């Protein structure tokens, strides 16, 4: 039996929910998020076929799924947006994503959407400029903030100024089976180290990202996989760790670009 979603924030008008136990089988654990405000709703990184049915059933307990306002896709990976065709068919939602992926996302939708239902995928997409964009949800303003090359070339994170949550996508992700907040940062590092060394492009972009976040009013950093960082102590520990991490191209050498024998 599935447990209730984790309520990250609720002031009566504005809610942020996290669904952390919808993946079964061989798929990597992932978190899906719903933000609601004054009758409008946004679904963040809904995933693929593995999560579509259980997620839509869980959402129906909280909103009218057909009336979903937005879907936010931080980047193009299968665990982010592979179920796009189903969401376009069964909701009225518009899809917010990087302009770099706006012309690629139609490859995830079957031709029957256009032929049988008159749904043009590209017409439903809001393409974000590289510098990001603010947009309204109900009575609040959410912000798509740039996180390019962390790890995707066109990557965005979602900042909610009401809850002060930064939904950080793959940044801060950990390979664990639960989404309990991090309480012991040093012991948590092994859950993140291999992933960040391989998936983040370089220390330069990690430092640029950390500097951006330090200038924001953030109470939680909540990644798409694993455990969130809540409170100044854990957030500062993570920012210090990531801005000092060698990763991606920093670790590449000639042996990594040699022809197999």
Identify whether 151 is preceded by a cis peptide bond (ω within 30 of 0): yes
Euclidean distance between CA atoms 86 and 136, whole angstroms: 24
Collapsed DSSP state (helix, strand, coil) of residue 125: strand
Q: In this structure, what token pair is assigned to residue 113?
A: 């959407």
The structural domains of the chain, with segments of one domain joined by +, span 6-249
> What pTM was estimated for this model as a whole?
0.92
Average pLDDT per block of 10 residues along the chain, 261 residues long = 82 94 69 95 89 88 94 87 82 91 71 61 85 97 97 96 97 90 97 97 98 98 95 98 98 94 87
**According to the model, what pLDDT value does residue 80 have?**
82
The residues, ordered by sequence, that sit 6+ positions from 261 with a Cβ below 8 Å of its Cβ are none
Cα dihedral 161, 163, 164, 170, rounded to 10, equals: -100
**According to the model, what pLDDT value does residue 90 have?**
85
**According to the model, what pLDDT value does residue 120 have?**
65
**According to the model, what pLDDT value does residue 237 have?**
98
Euclidean distance between CA atoms 225 and 176, whole angstroms: 8
DSSP bridge pairs for 129: none
**According to the model, what pLDDT value does residue 68 have?**
95
Q: CATH classification of 6-249 is 3.60.15.10, yes or no?
A: yes
């Amino acid at each position: 039996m599935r447990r209730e979603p984790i309520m990250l924030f609720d002031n009566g008008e504005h809610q942020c929910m996290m669904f952390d136990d919808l993946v079964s089988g061989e798929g990597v654990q992932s978190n899906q998020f719903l933000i609601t405000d004054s009758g409008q709703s946004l679904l963040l990184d809904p995933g693929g076929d593995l999560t579509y049915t259980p997620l839509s059933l869980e959402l129906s307990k909280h909103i009218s799924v057909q009336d979903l306002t937005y879907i936010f896709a931080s980047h193009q990976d299968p665990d982010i947006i592979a179920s796009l065709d189903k969401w376009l068919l069964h909701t009225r939602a518009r899809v917010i994503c990087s302009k770099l992926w706006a012309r690629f996302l139609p490859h995830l939708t079957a031709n029957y959407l256009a032929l049988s239902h008159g749904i043009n995928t590209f017409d439903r997409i809001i393409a974000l400029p590289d510098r990001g964009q603010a947009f309204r949800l109900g009575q609040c303003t959410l912000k798509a903030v740039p996180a390019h090359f962390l790890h995707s070339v066109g990557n965005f994170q979602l900042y909610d100024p009401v809850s002060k949550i930064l939904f950080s996508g793959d940044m801060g992700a950990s390979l664990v089976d639960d989404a309990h907040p991090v309480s012991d940062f040093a012991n948590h590092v092994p859950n993140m180290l291999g992933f960040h060394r391989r998936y983040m492009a370089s220390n330069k972009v990690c430092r640029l990202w950390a500097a951006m976040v330090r200038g924001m009013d953030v109470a939680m950093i909540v990644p798409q996989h694993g455990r969130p960082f809540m409170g100044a102590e854990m957030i500062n520990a993570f920012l210090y760790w990531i801005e000092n991490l060698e990763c991606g191209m920093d670790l590449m050498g000639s042996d990594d670009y040699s022809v197999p024998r």
